[in-house]
Structure 1
Amino acid sequence: MIKVGTVQQIWRYPVKGMAGESLDACYLGEMGLQGDRIWALRDVQRQEIQSCKFRPQLLRCVAQFRQLPYSGSEQHVDILFPDGQTVGSDDPQIHERLSSLTGHDSTLESLRPISQLDFYRRHKKDDHTWLAELKATFDREEGEPLPEILDALPPDAEDFVSLPGTFFLVTPFHLLSTASLAHLQQLNPEANWDVQRFRPNLVIETLPGMEGLVEQAWVNHKLYIGEALIDCNSTTPRCGAVTREQQSLQSDTSILRTIVQKADQNLGIYGVTKKSALIKLGDEVFLDA
């Protein structure tokens, strides 16, 4: 094994599509970080779970667990809205506030058992509109390619907006490196490459001398993070969400143009947990040789 860096940041997102909370430590299990994406917005008319791809206004909210450490899937969260008001997930006003924010009649829902498949179903008025809607969220300009992943979606993706039993689209764990962020900052120095734009679970501070999009070479390899083991299984193609306004970030379309044109559309990688453990800031990160 070779050392590639240390854990610099840990991020958990209690509500799908919203900004989350920075942690000093968190348990990493088969379903990702404990407490990650256990709440989500559901469109009442479409009867469909929504993400920041379709409801970018969610990115302007910050969600945090009311009590730490996280202790269960029904634990409530407090949501900081763009106007500075904080509303709890157990407040009767929460659904009205989220409906007003997004412009669509919506409710805040917690995870349900995988047996309730209809809860996770995709809204489809025909056999093709759902895919056109999904492709549109990638905000590609003329001549720019769409991610290959859209041509090889798993069969369930046609029927479900997330992996049933979860609010994850692909895998429950996402990481990126400081080397990649520094590389793109050099290519587009006028942009603000704040890590919160990209919603990783983990930011790895790579070793001195490691430059470029280093984690792309980690795909199909394993990472040892403290006592945890991660199978790096794919790159992370980027959509228009990275350009959207957030609490402390302005909208910037140049971010996506740089990623598409200079990074083969990808920033960061997805992973699957092979060995669960508590991960902490400062944990050493090793790549299998």
Structure 2
Amino acid sequence: MRLSALYRYPLKSARGETLQQIGLDKLGLQGDRRWMLVDEASGRFLTQRAVARMSQLSALYNQQGGLTLSATGFSSLEVPLPDAAAALRGVTIWQDSLRVPDAGDEAAAWVSEFVGKPTRLVQVPLERARSTAAGYGRDDDQVAFADGFPLLLIGQASLEDLSSRVGRPLEMLRFRPNLVIEGSQAYAEDQWRRIRIGDLEFRVVKPCSRCILTTIDPQTGERSADREPLATLQKYRAQADGAMFGQNLVNDGPGRLQVGMPVTVLE
């Protein structure tokens, strides 16, 4: 087995980027989901679940460590990384409430126009990260703005099996994984507890419950009229917490990953 693809999502629920190699820190892939859009009034996080056109929003790191925002019909904007003097904003992501640096009024004006309502752009530094979902992993496991855990892994064979059941090829980015594994059987990842990729070890902590976001075409931003692939997943991958596809991981320590690295199941 080998690592066949690496994906990073600098801004939660915006477009992903394909990588050949990347470092990992305490919060998973360096720079992964460290930025987020929130409703200005409530501080509640925004994703494609409510704002489907976020799939058409590009947010990539620039050479200064900030973010370059771009979208069709919009002038691109360079957003600097908030410094120590940046105002903190109270935000809510699922059941977690925290205070994180706000990216400023210029960025807020840009994202508000894109979303269509008053919106703020925020960033989470390592020292303000959340704890991972209770009851899974270790007490000191942390996560940035990903839903619950630092990393998501999917087997390529699992996607191919799902595509055959749906009756059309599905894009891997529809499921927003960080790591794609090639050479395993379909859904083999369901049985893994610890794996090694290159020299790095990972704990497999929880299957990933899928939502309506999987029905959004990552290229066009349009929702599937037939609710696929979620409808098919609910027929054969349903558990008490939802339809499962992919596994949430935590990396044990820092390191570096590169596409092509061997994958070993340790447990």
TM-score bin, normalised by smaller chain: 0.7 to 0.9
Structure 2 counterpart of 1:246, one-letter code: P
Structure 2 counterpart of 1:79, one-letter code: L
Counterpart residue number, 2:149: 171
Aligned partner of residue 45 in structure 2, secondary structure: strand
Counterpart residue number, 1:33: 29
2:203 corresponds, among 231, 239, 252, to: 231
Q: Which moved more, 1:74-83 or 1:194-203?
A: 74-83
Higher helix proportion: 1
Aligned partner of residue 169 in structure 1, secondary structure: coil
RMSD: 2.6
Counterpart residue number, 2:233: 259
Query: What displacement does 1:84 show?
Result: 6.4
- Encode CA deviations 1:77-102: one digit per residue, 9 max, x unaligned: 21231436433224965322321222
Does the aligned pair in 1 maintain the 2:154–2:181 contact within 8 Å? yes
Query: What displacement does 1:261 show?
Result: 1.3
Q: TM-score, normalised by structure 2?
A: 0.77
Query: What displacement does 1:260 show?
Result: 1.4
Q: State the identity as a percent.
A: 23
> Is 2:59 the counterpart of 1:76?
no
Q: How does 1:193-232 map to 2 (within 5 A)?
A: 193-207=170-184, 210=185, 212-218=186-192, 221-232=193-204
Structure 2 counterpart of 1:269, one-letter code: Q
Query: What displacement does 1:165 show?
Result: 7.2
Counterpart residue number, 1:286: 264
Higher strand proportion: 2
Q: How does 1:65-214 map to 2 (within 5 A)?
A: 65-67=61-63, 75-83=65-73, 85-90=75-80, 93-112=106-125, 154=134, 166-190=144-168, 192-207=169-184, 210=185, 212-214=186-188
- Encode CA deviations 1:186-230: one digit per residue, 9 max, x unaligned: 10123x4101111111111124xx2x3221122xx1010001100
Does the aligned pair in 2 maintain the 1:114–1:164 contact within 8 Å? no
For this pair of structures, how many residues does the alignment match?
231
Counterpart residue number, 2:86: none
For structure 2, list consecutive stretches of 5 or more residues without a partner in the other structure: 81-103, 136-140
Counterpart residue number, 2:10: 14
Does the aligned pair in 2 maintain the 1:44–1:106 contact within 8 Å? yes
Aligned partner of residue 160 in structure 2, secondary structure: helix
Does the aligned pair in 1 maintain the 2:7–2:19 contact within 8 Å? yes
For structure 1, list consecutive stretches of 5 or more residues without a partner in the other structure: 68-73, 121-152, 156-162
Query: What displacement does 1:249 show?
Result: 5.7
Counterpart residue number, 2:95: none
Aligned partner of residue 190 in structure 2, secondary structure: helix
> Is 2:42 the counterpart of 1:46?
yes
Query: What displacement does 1:169 show?
Result: 2.3
- Encode CA deviations 1:109-162: one digit per residue, 9 max, x unaligned: 1115656x9xx8xxxxxxxxxxxxxxxxxxxxxxxxxxxxxxxx749xxxxxxx
